[in-house]
Amino acid sequence: MAEPSSGDGNGDKSANCDEVNGISAKVVSEEDARRAEELKEKANEFFKKKDYGQSITYYTEAIELNPYITAYWGNRSFAYIKTECYGYALNDASKALELDKTYIKAYYRRASANMALGKFKLALKDFEAVTKARPSDKDAQRNYHECNKIVKRQAFMKAISVDDHKKPVAVTIEEELANMVIEDDYQGPCIGEEGITLQFMKDLIETFKQQKKLHRKYAYQILVEVKKIFMSQASLVDITVPKGKKFTICGDVHGQFYDLLNIFELNGLPSEENPYLFNGDFVDRGSFSVECILTLWGFKLLYPSHFYMSRGNHESETMNQMYGFDGEVKAKYTNQMAELFTEVFNWLPLSHLINEKILAMHGGLFSEDNVTLDDIRKTDRNRQPPDSGIMCDLLWSDPQPQPGRSASKRGVGCQFGPDVTKKFLENNNLEYIVRSHEVKNEGYEVAHDGKCITVFSAPNYCDTMGNKGAFIVIRGDDLTPQFTSYEAVPHPNVKPMAYANSLLSMF
């Protein structure tokens, strides 16, 4: 299902009628129908060039001229999936099925979008519909069975999680650490009695650059110890940047380890004099996520009061199962370590307040008015992200240029306008917010009259987007953001998504 439909719409429910299955009444002239087909073909060409934004523009124009062609909705749904606008993709796939319940591609599109959001039960229903329509389709059968395995596993994990007497993995591992053997042929960095040192971190970075592994004992030790630090922190962490001192904010790095190292080349290694905040989505998609997260957590242990990390929407179990981190951890270490990562992710803070004037979070603002900083502080975060509420919005929401709020293009969280940002800042005596979560051509974007800043630090995202990465530097006596953009650097020949769930091959 890797290409948009390129036919002329024959066989789709379509054409010059007053109303089709609830889609607004409109008589389509022959000229409009012909022009719509031309726009669809133009959109298909942009899609093939991976210019999904332009393809969406032309599919939309085609739909406006003739909303009764199933393929237009199905194709735009696929383009929305490519741009991670899963909410819009769901809507378009459903519109296509309103027009034609036999349009198989729309079931695939809807299943893909639901899987991307971790809604595997809904995806399974659509895969089941495809297998019934095409019982001899081997791909359909494979997708159905793979999705069914995930649903059954989730049900099993939910059943055993109600056991209040089950020890956390971190406790079990800590009890076993002393007995873990370091093999004689291991030549990587070691954690001594003094704990994490700067020399250890430099050696760790060099080890990872050479595509070698940190011994599992030390990897486990980092996870166990960093979990304790995060458990001691609130959901909203206060940061003070002294006058004259710099502070750096980075956005998503998504497993792009060599680009992470480039940030440190450009801006210096973390230290007490060079503090950092990494604003979520450290893992998934990029195939060096283990290296990224262990490096970041190592610096957290080395500089606990000068290195900060916010939770992103990809620091969650369902995202990790789909987008590669779960598979990568199991390939490089163990299933048990994958469980431990989930435990630690659950304790990551949700946001940071810098000098009482800048609020930083991964996603954005809220579906409801009058949310306060105290409400964020009181939010219970030791859980998988919910589908609504403060925690959900902090991880998933996005800004929009128009006033007010609208349904999320992603299908989770909301989209909030400049008036929402202004009111939130006024109510909480803040100057601006910093968030991440979205690819930007220059690696950053300033919106909402300068009050909503996006920073994204993974250049050439997934080796396909061609965007720059960026980071922000502020100073304690001048909170004006200074931006540095940079290009991607070479990395070893391991493709993004190398460890992702096989179901994502349909995207």
DSSP letter (8 states) at residue 168: P
CA 326 to chain centre: 14
Rounded to whole angstroms, the Cα distance separating 112 from 81 reads 8
E strands within 376-437? Answer: 398-399, 405-407, 414-416, 432-435
What is residue 179's DSSP assignment?
Answer: G
SS3 content of the chain, % helix, strand, coil (to 5): 45, 15, 40
Out of 215, 314, 352, 437, the active site residue is: 314
Question: Is 437 annotated as catalytic?
Answer: no
**CA 30 vs CA 16, 37, 85, 370: distances in Å:** 8, 11, 32, 51
Are the C-beta atoms of 208 and 257 separated by less than 8 Å?
Answer: yes
Amino acid sitting at position 290 = V
Handedness of CA 206, 491, 396, 148 (dihedral sign): negative
Cα separation values, 357 from 354, 360, 407, Å: 6, 10, 28
The answer to whether the CB of 490 falls within 8 A of the CB of 474 is no
For residue 208, which amino acid is it? F
What is the distance between the alpha carbons of residues 501 and 507, in angstroms, rounded to a whole number? 11
Other beta carbons within 10 Å of 49: 10
CA distance 507 to 496: 14
Task: Name the one residue in this structure whose structure tokens are 């502070």.
Answer: 247
CA distance 125 to 127: 6
* DSSP secondary structure letters along 149-167: HHHHHHHHHHHHHT-TTPP
* Catalytic sites, residue numbers: 314
